[in-house]
Amino acid sequence: MNKYFITAIGTNSGKTIVSAILTQALQADYWKPVQAGIEERDSDVVNSLLLNDYSVMHPERFCFKKAASPHEASAEENIQIQLSDFRIPETAGNDLIIEGAGGVMVPLNEHDTITDLALVLGAEVILVSNYYLGSINHTLLSYEYLKKKNVRIKGIIFNGPENASSKSIILAKTGLTCLLDIKQEKHWDPFLVQQYAVKLFDNWNS
């Protein structure tokens, strides 16, 4: 079983859409270890965007009411998150897509970040980046943090209206493989996710 941890350069970067694409492409299982904000669970969104009958949505280890950083959301409910709380769910041999919360340095508690969780779970990271003013800096800083932590990185996925200049400098400075470019789609449905799932394999084994 391969484990891929989806993290990003910030919040609302498109991690859930990326997770759906990867889950569909790899016929993988999906797991969101920490859900903060329960109006719309990410596992429900991913499940609604799949066309396959193989993927299993594993329940969250923690599910908090407040839409906030995990360390804050957990404090609201008098819960202290520890890395030892997490165990990889059992699968039927499927790969596992693990979706993080927020960006690479989002705190789980006073000491540990979301990147520490990826390390404890032994997962390979896929970094999601966006195109906006300042995203080069945010992407490179995120990469340097992952590198400092000795995280294995599968590659990077860009999300949003393409900026060739930003993309080229990020790839040149990180040496990462661009696994996929996602356009700013108006509406996501299972058939669109499937189209991107097919495109993913153009660079998956690069």
List 32, 65, 148, 173, catalytic entry: 32
- Cβ proximity of 129 and 10 under 8 Å: no
Q: Which of 154, 147, 92, 164 is nearest to 123 (CA)?
A: 154
CB neighbour list of residue 85: distance below 8 Å, 6 or more residues apart: 61, 62
User: Cα–Cα distance between 66 and 46 in angstroms, integer?
Assistant: 20
- Assess whether 199 carries a catalytic annotation: no
> Six-digit token pair at 131?
């195109």
User: Cα–Cα distance between 5 and 122 in angstroms, integer?
Assistant: 9
81-108 burial, b at 16+ Cβ within 10 Å, e below that, comes to beeeebebeebeebbbbbbbbbbbbbbb
- Measured N-to-C along each axis, helices 15-26 and 190-200 cross at an angle, to the nearest 10 degrees, of 70
How many residues in total does the chain contain? Answer: 206
Active-site amino acid positions: 32
